[in-house]
Structure 1
Amino acid sequence: MRALFVILTASGLLGACAAVDALPEPAGPASAVAASYVPRPGYDWFLHADSGAMTLVYGLRDSDDVGLSLDCEAGSARIEASRFTPANSASSLLLESGGVSARVAASTSRTDLDDATVVMGTFNAREAVFDTFAELGWIRAESDRDLPSPALIAHPESKANIARFIRACRDG
């Protein structure tokens, strides 16, 4: 009975992952594709700034439920991206928005939190994917060892913080 439960659970999880891992191919302008995305209730992009250190986090406000964290020092032109993954290791991290993507080498660190792994990679803040992210208000991330994340979609009122974060990382 336990084996049947495990098989059914695994099948359900794989089916659920297959339902969210593919983003629609852009059929027209990227903004038209973005219009089909709906922000997840309670989840959003939150900007934190402290003495030149900037953090843009997607998740639930004031919680450890985080889908992606982006960090930079103002004017550094570097963005450190990190996300939790069930994979034990990863050698690259990809960010994609509106069909525009960037991939960098990644490092990993095990956490005590549910035996998860944090995947981290440093991106050039001038990568086109960040321009598209600021315009559309969504991005997705994946490592080479796990399934792609669903799109992490901003609520309309938080889109300005995405642009503010990217400008600060680039120009200070």
Structure 2
Amino acid sequence: MRVLWLPVLGLAALTSACASVDAPEPVATAATSAPAPVAGYDWHYTPDGDTARLAYGVEESDDLRLGLDCTAGSGKVELASLAGTGAREIHLESGGETERFRAEGEPSEIHDGDILTASASTAEPVMQRFRRVGWIAQWVGGEREVYAPHPGSEAGVERFFAMCG
């Protein structure tokens, strides 16, 4: 009988020793790393005199996911996006910051749904984070779409915000 208790006591001692050891903290990788760019889509910076456009989509096409326009030094950005019919909000997220912008909508002649337009300040936390990290996400119809730059195009994001003020 005494022989059977020895393994049970040993297992109990081992279990209590393991319970007192703190579990290691999980390493945050996906949440802190930049999202991957999508083939064929990129940020396109287009200055034109005292105005500038920063657009995410397919170059030289009607496939635009998010457009930002500004006048030099204004500190304001005009947003343009596609959404479902009746939507009246542009919901953006970048690096942990999020903001919802009330939008005006009108039916799109090219795509299903509406074209939304809204105004934002370049000082908004989500805009400042976008400037720092180079990517932004938009919530469209309950789905998160991430707009990440390809290597080299992230400089256009900084040039846009530097011009806008």
Matches within 5 A, 1:78-117: 78-85=76-83, 87-117=84-114
With structure 2 as the length reference, what TM-score do the two structures score?
0.76
Matching residue of 1:19: none
Partner of 2:46, secondary structure, is: strand
Cα distance change of structure 1 residues 34 and 62 upon mapping to structure 2, 3 Å threshold: farther
Map of 2:158 onto structure 1: 163
Asked if 2 retains the 8 angstrom alpha-carbon contact of 1:45 and 1:154, the reply is yes
Deviation at 1:62, TM superposition (A): 0.8
| Correspondence for 1:73 | 71
* Structure 2: gaps spanning 5 or more residues: 1-26
- Among all aligned residue pairs of Structure 1 and Structure 2, give the percentage whose two residues are the same amino acid: 31
Relative to structure 1, the CA distance from residue 34 to residue 133 in structure 2 (aligned partners, 3 Å threshold; closer, same or farther) is: farther
Q: CA-atom RMSD, angstroms?
A: 1.9
How far apart, CA to CA, are the structure 2 residues paired with 1:36 and 1:168?
24
8 Å contact kept, 1:140–1:148 = no
Tell whether the 8 Å contact from 2:51 to 2:69 is kept in structure 1 after alignment.
yes
Report the counterpart of residue 127 of structure 1 in structure 2.
Answer: 124
Give the number of the structure whose alpha-carbon radius of gyration is greater: 2
Partner SS for 1:156: coil
Q: Once the 2 structures are TM-superposed, how far is the Cα of residue 130 of structure 1 from its aligned partner? A: 1.7
CA distance in 2: counterparts of 1:114 and 1:156, whole angstroms? 29
SS at match of 1:167: helix
8 Å Cα contact 2:53/2:69 also seen in 1: yes
User: Which residue of structure 2 lines up, in the alignment, with residue 38 of structure 1?
Assistant: 36
**The structure with more helix, counted as a fraction of residues:** 1
Q: Provide the aligned length of Structure 1 versus Structure 2.
A: 139
- Runs of 4+ residues over 6 Å off in structure 1: none
- CA gap of 1:49–1:34, structure 2 versus 1, over 3 A, is farther
Asked if the contact 1:34/1:138 (under 8 Å) is kept, the reply is no
Q: Distance in 2 between matches of 1:46 and 1:122?
A: 20
